[in-house]
Structure 1
Amino acid sequence: MDLALYQPDIPQNTGTLLRLGACLGVPVHVIGPAGFDLSDKALRRAGLDYLDAAVLHRHAGWTAFLDWVEAEGRRIVLATTRSDRPYPAHAFLPGDVLLLGRESAGVPDAVHDRADVRVTIPMRPGLRSINVALAGAMILGEALRQTAALPEPGQPSA
């Protein structure tokens, strides 16, 4: 299981998701361009001391990321408000890549259409969305639960 961030806007959310990936043993992919300085120094400020434990892959853009996905034979699972499939109802696979969109705009139609699966977080009517880092944590937790990939307490993750 991998986590991917499409052109993230907010360094604190990226830092939070890098910390999540570090703690759960999940590689994080950042698909550029980001809306902030993506240097190690800037990420260290947002990711605190967890950055050294994170597995971070940087992709210059969508095409470079797609090249990686296709070479690895992975499936893209997009978290989106434009889906009627609740994430707990989806059967996740260990090789899935959970893709999160930009905080300000989600993903463009071409990215949305390329996703193999689109899932959503069921919410009360009239409310727009959940913070991207919280949404990523919710969906990733379910994906890891389904695939039995959560690290055992006190043990390093695979």
Structure 2
Amino acid sequence: MTNHIALFEPLMPANTGNIARTCAGTNTVLHLIRPLGFSLDDKHMKRAGLDYWDKVKLIVHDDLADFLATIPDQRYLYLISKFSDRIYTDVDYSDITQDHYFLFGKETTGLPEKFMRENPEKCLRIPMTANIRALNLSNSCALVIYEAVCQQHFVGMELTHRYAHDKLH
């Protein structure tokens, strides 16, 4: 089982770098769908990911169709959007025999409307007030992926951590 975060045409290198760091911390594969609003060697993106880039499995796709062709079972594809009546916490992600794919849209326009309308059963929403257009992309990714790994009982993740000088009694 692997979790996947996919970013459709991301624009901001800092967001992508922060998401890469979240992926490194959760053993999540990061997919970037072109065109990108930055170069992969952009200093801002690298700075945001700090020294974690070697811990991230990164896959770059030429377009949305290229990304979709890599998903073996579309039932485990989730489109994160404000245009949904279904909340992301209402989904059962606990099946660790399946890969789960979370697709997030571009910071300015989200996912293509036509694609969303063709796949309403895959759409999930993060509740928020009407005071804002959307949450920050990197925050949204963190919320959703941590819901998934929580339901999966944090498999493969460190559940406790101690200071080096602490001794167990």
| TM-score (normalizing by structure 1) | 0.86
Deviates more, 1:34-43 or 1:113-122: 34-43
Once residues 79 and 148 of structure 1 are traced to their aligned partners in structure 2, the CA distance between those partners, rounded to angstroms, is 22
Listed as ranges, the gaps of 5+ residues in structure 1 are none
- Provide Cα deviations, 1:56-111, integer angstroms capped at 9, x if missing partner: 11111112111111xx2242101100001111112224411011100011011233
Percent of aligned pairs with the same residue? 31
Larger Rg: 2
Once residues 108 and 36 of structure 1 are traced to their aligned partners in structure 2, the CA distance between those partners, rounded to angstroms, is 20
Q: State how 1:2-151 maps to structure 2 within 5 Å.
A: 2-39=4-41, 43-69=45-71, 72-74=72-74, 75-92=76-93, 93-94=95-96, 95-112=99-116, 113-114=118-119, 117-150=122-155, 151=157
State the AA in 1 paired with 2:126: I
Change (3 A) 1:154 1:54: farther
- Determine helix, strand or coil for the equivalent of 2:28: coil
Listed as ranges, the gaps of 5+ residues in structure 2 are 162-169
* Residue-pair matches, total: 153
Counterpart contact for 2:14–2:44, Cα < 8 Å: no
The alpha carbon displacement at 1:38 in A equals: 2.3
Deviates more, 1:136-145 or 1:106-115: 106-115
Once residues 25 and 34 of structure 1 are traced to their aligned partners in structure 2, the CA distance between those partners, rounded to angstroms, is 23
- Which of the pair is proportionally richer in helix? 1
